[in-house]
Amino acid sequence: MGELRAKWKVNMYAWLLLLPSLIFLLLFTFYPVIQTFILSFHQADLGSPEPFFNGIDNYKQMVEDEVFWKVLTNNIWFAIGTVPTSVALALGMALFANKALRGKSFIRTAYFYPTVVPMIAVANIWLFIYTPEYGALSHVMEWFGKGDMNWLGDQKNVMWAMIFMVIWKEAGYFMIFYLAGLQNISQELYESASMEGASSWTVFRRITFPLLMPTTMFVSIIAFTNSFKLVDHLVIMTKGGPDNASNLLLYYIYETAFSFWDQGMASALTIVMVVLLLLVAAFQFFAMDKKIHYN
Amino acid sequence: MLRKFTTVGMYGLAVLWLFPLLWAVWTSFRPRELATSWSLSADFTLDNFAKVWDSAPFDQYYINTFLIVTGILVAQIITATLAAYAFAKLQFWGKDVLFVLFLVQLMVPADILIFPNYNVLRDLSLLDTKIGIMLPYFASAFGVFLLRQTFKTIPHELEEAARMEGCSWFQILWRVYVPLAKPTYIAFGLVSVSYHWNNFMWPLIITNSVENRPLTVGLAIFAQSFETGAQWAEVSAATVMVIFPLLLAFLVFQRQFINSFIHSGVK
């Protein structure tokens, strides 16, 4: 009897400790997602003062919406452009910063500092870099005798311009995780490899890279999620243009909800986003040993 | 040969990486007429900063950002400490399910729920308030996992000993667990502060008045109030002003900052 009471007490106590977090979690993650799921089956725009049920009309409309497919493809290209390059670059930076003989802390600082610069500030600076005629890039291209390019105003260039900027912003952040990963590799492995006369490429291929695999997985997932979260710069630089060439899913949700005031459609789009991110989470869950990071 | 080549390349990359910042700082001190030209003259001025300070309420924005960042951090530390203790040290009914619920917040962060959370705030009549900016971030799954990790490494004997001496559970938490987890608190604090200092989309949507706008939103509004290219010097000055506090903090606490980031993601 006393044991049961003690158990009940611990339960009570644990739930009370979790309650504050749980309230905010429910109120700002679970409740809104459910609410949005319901709203996504309703017509709720400026033309309908009271939302009414319209089945899967929003989703049907979405599938037929060219802009939706455009932003989704853009986002996938944005991910393909940013994730592998910034992760590979981060690994290179970490290997170098770990070994650099001179100016170690200068190197680390130079690579890392974009992480602490707000995306909005980044956008302001890079807008000036990309501006035709007066921008930094135009000056540099002039030196090399190349013609001027309109980086942000041209549909073919704008995505590349964004991708390069985001790689600049993120690579140093990912470097930190690799630096941490490198600390965990035992020095003995390297010593015995050098005793056997292995080349540095072999050492990298056989020891460093495989042992950093968990870090690579972890960082890739962050990079992928970021490619769906990062849209601040669009507000300053392009507003998704020209002709949606740089538009991304989250920015399209923002436009749909707060410029077009189509709440039903914004809900449907949000649900697509949530499902997408949960799929990635599921992939992460199965693809990697979850003990690595959560236990 | 190849090694030398990469070494030069990596130092070159560092310089390339520094360029945008140096350029922005340089431009911000240049007289307006010279801002777009690449002439190397000794003309420097503080006019741009003075103008920015006069033409937009950046002092108010600084205060707002400061209050928002601090409010979020304090709330997160309280909620995360309590939850982390429960997850780390107690066995209770529903633990696994709750753990998964917390995991979901890591995967579906508030940043992408801008539209749903706007509706929640509207229903709570909290649009255009500082507390409204803060509320969705009061629970931090990231903080909970980080602290749980640390609490788990603290031996149970310490808690037993404290209990023997007649400490209440709150005293145990406050006197045993919190002090021993200090590095984790610092790490989490830095991550949280830099994250919310930089946050933009959410405050943009829900704020509407100078009294509540944070720096990032203020900067965006300031930058957009000009025709492109016309006021580079002033926009650069405003940008540098917004970047400056965090960057300075980073340069001063560089080692700790980087180590804390290392701490925060991977154990």
Res B50 pLDDT > 90: no
Q: Per-residue pLDDT for B262 more than 80?
A: no
**Domains of chain B, CATH where assigned:** 57-265 (1.10.3720.10)
> Residue A289's pLDDT is what?
54
d(CA B106, CA B110): 9
The domain A68-294 is classified under which CATH number: 1.10.1660.10, 1.10.3720.10, 3.20.20.30, 3.40.190.10?
A: 1.10.3720.10
Task: Work out the pLDDT band at B227, boundaries 50, 70, 90.
Answer: low
The position carrying tokens 């020891």 is: A207
Residue A42 pairs with which residues in a beta bridge? A53
Q: Is the pLDDT of residue A250 over 80?
A: yes
Q: Does A241 or A169 have the greater pLDDT score?
A: A169
- Does pLDDT of B150 surpass 80? yes
What are the structure tokens assigned to A259, written together? 């410029």
pLDDT at B88 over 50: yes
Q: What average pLDDT score do residues A254-265 get?
A: 91
Q: What is the pTM of this model?
A: 0.88
- For testing the chain A interface, which of B114, B127, B190 should be mutated: the one with the most A CBs within 10 Å? B114
ipTM comes to: 0.87
Cα separations in angstroms, A277 against A30, A125, A224, A229, B23: 15, 30, 9, 10, 37
User: Residue A203 in contact with residue A193, Cβ under 8 Å?
Assistant: yes
Q: What is the mean pLDDT of chain B?
A: 86
Distance CA A104, CA B51 (A): 38
State the Rg of chain B over Cα. Answer: 23
Residue A148 has pLDDT above 80, yes or no: no
Q: Which two tokens stand for residue A183?
A: 């600390």
Give per-residue pLDDT as tens, B110-134: 889 999 999 999 999 999 999 999 9
Partnered with residue A43 across adjacent β-strands are A52
Q: Please report the residues numbered 199 through 258 in chain B whose beta carbons come closer than 8 angstroms to any beta carbon of chain A.
A: 200-201, 204-205, 215-216, 219-220, 223-224, 228-229, 232, 235-236, 238-239, 242-243, 246-247, 250-251, 254-255, 257-258
Residues of chain B positioned with their CB less than 8 A from the CB of A270: 112-113, 115-116
Mean per-residue pLDDT, A87-112: 87
What is the per-residue pLDDT across B3-29, written as a single tens digit (0 to 9) for each? 788 888 888 999 999 999 998 898 888
Residues 56-115 of A with CB under 8 A from B: 92-93, 96, 100, 103, 105-115
Burial of B200 (0-12, 13-18, 19+ CB in 10 A): buried
What CA–CA distance (Å, rounded) separates A169 from B20? Answer: 11
pLDDT at residue A293 greater than cutoff 70: no
* pLDDT band for position A294 (cuts 50, 70, 90): very low
